[in-house]
Amino acid sequence: MNNILIIEDEAAIRRVLKDVISRGNKNYTIKEAEDGIEGWKYIKKEEFDLILCDIKMPKMDGIELLQKIKENSIDIPVIMISGHGDLDTAVESMKIGAFDYISKPPDLNRLLIAVKNALENKKLTKQTKTLTKENKILKKKISKNYEMIGGSKAISAVKDMIEKVAPTDARVLITGPNGTGKELVAHWVHEKSNRCNNKIIEINCAAIPSELIESELFGHVKGSFTGANKDSAGKFEAANGGTVFLDEIGDMSLSAQAKVLRALQENKISRVGSDKSINIDVRVIAASNKNLRDEIEKGNFREDLYHRLAVIVIEVPALNDRTGDIPELVNYFLEKIATEQGNPTKKITQKAIALLVKYDWTGNIRELRNIIERLIILSGKSITDKDVINFSKK
């Protein structure tokens, strides 16, 4: 149901406008006001989808009312109704923010078209705002999932590097042991970049068989290999305009490395089984828990690809090198896991935290999270030092 307000000091004009707009349309609720002051009272009390407003009126004219609407950021399309000598004023009203204006006496077809366009515009604006709000909520959720916790010198250096690098299109190589949060760093670089409104596509190079990695990255054409029943786009095409995150790139085959190198050099890819080049615009972020310089010496990794990827190198510290962050990480995981499970946050004693700080975290952040979840499940009302001692004996 569309709620429409007609503000016009001439009763006969109000009646004509109401009859024309409502004729054959049961989806309109129409209210009337005889001057700007009465109209403003309605606007403050109710939500309208459209306002038709005369320009020349006693007490408060249409221009004054339109200015009030805009000054109060009220998002309603306003169609101004102007007399023959008011065209200059009507144009002025458009500059202030009126949706349209209609001359008196109103052309009925012109009036109906203006009303239809205004209501469609209102609907579209509302949908856009809803989508924008949903996108903001989604981005907040994504940011929460990839939050970087800690204020130690080691992790602060990583955060500072991200702030400097993210706004550029420079390629980034993220290094560090397993479980340190390399994926998290990649997402932070993407979210703080100019590409954040487009996708970040992740590819775990270690999890894809070597014979399928090229198809996964670059796509394939029908009949290029057994099982290729139709043309298929790869991850690079899917990420066009955004970011490709090549996780564990040290496990990529040499033949796939050669194709990635070409893609980085030429900003073009070819699907498996095709000679046709496809232009791409992606930022590449790579990560590895291996020492790629050692892999180059062993002949497992291309040196030219390494130099293409390692424009900026971000080394993520092991948890044992940032033990000062452990108390904050422990409390973060206690709250996060409780929220995920729909339970109240479990308390932990200072003695228990002290023992966790001293623990040898060979599995890094991933291991810490798993252990906190285990302690939440197996402990009593709170997590004590005895719970941590019992855990460490297992």
pLDDT in tens, 344-393: 999 999 999 999 999 999 999 999 999 999 999 999 999 999 999 987 65
CB 63 within 8 A of CB 50: no
What would the two tokens of residue 21 be? 């707009």
Whether the per-residue pLDDT at 142 is higher than 60: the answer is no
Would you place residue 87 in the very low, low, confident or very high pLDDT band (cuts 50, 70, 90)? low
Check: pTM over 0.85? Answer yes or no. Answer: no
> How far is the C-alpha of 300 from the C-alpha of 113, rounded, in Å?
68
* 208-222: pLDDT as tens digits: 888 888 899 999 999
In the CATH hierarchy, which top-level class contains the domain 320-392?
A: mainly alpha
> How far is the C-alpha of 233 from the C-alpha of 340, rounded, in Å?
35
* 361-372: pLDDT as tens digits: 999 999 999 999
CATH superfamily of 146-317: P-loop containing nucleotide triphosphate hydrolases (3.40.50.300)
Ramachandran assignment for 106, one of left (phi > 0), alpha (psi -120 to 50 degrees), beta (any other): beta
Longest C-alpha distance within the chain, in Å? Answer: 92
Q: Delimit the CATH 1.10.8.60 region(s) of the chain.
A: 320-392
The dihedrals phi and psi of 72, each to the nearest 5 degrees, come to -95, 10
Pairing of the two strands 283-288 and 172-175: parallel
Would you place residue 130 in the very low, low, confident or very high pLDDT band (cuts 50, 70, 90)? low
Q: Delimit the CATH 3.40.50.300 region(s) of the chain.
A: 146-317
Nearest to 257 by CA among 225, 300, 289, 223: 300
* 294-316: pLDDT as tens digits: 999 999 999 999 999 999 999 99
The neighbour count for residue 141, using CB atoms within 10 Å, is 10
> Is the peptide bond prior to 344 cis by the omega test (within 30 degrees of 0)?
no
Q: Delimit the CATH 3.40.50.2300 region(s) of the chain.
A: 2-128
The dihedrals phi and psi of 287, each to the nearest 5 degrees, come to -145, 150
For residue 86, what pLDDT is reported? 64
Nearest to 119 by CA among 37, 40, 27, 54: 27
Q: Which residues contact 94 (CB under 8 A, 6 or more apart)?
A: 80, 100, 101
Residues 2-128, CATH architecture: 3-Layer(aba) Sandwich (3.40)
Catalogue the E-assigned strands of the chain.
2-7, 28-33, 50-54, 78-82, 100-103, 172-175, 200-204, 243-247, 268-270, 277-279, 283-288, 312-315, 347-348, 382-383
Which residue would you say has higher pLDDT here, 140 or 71?
Answer: 71
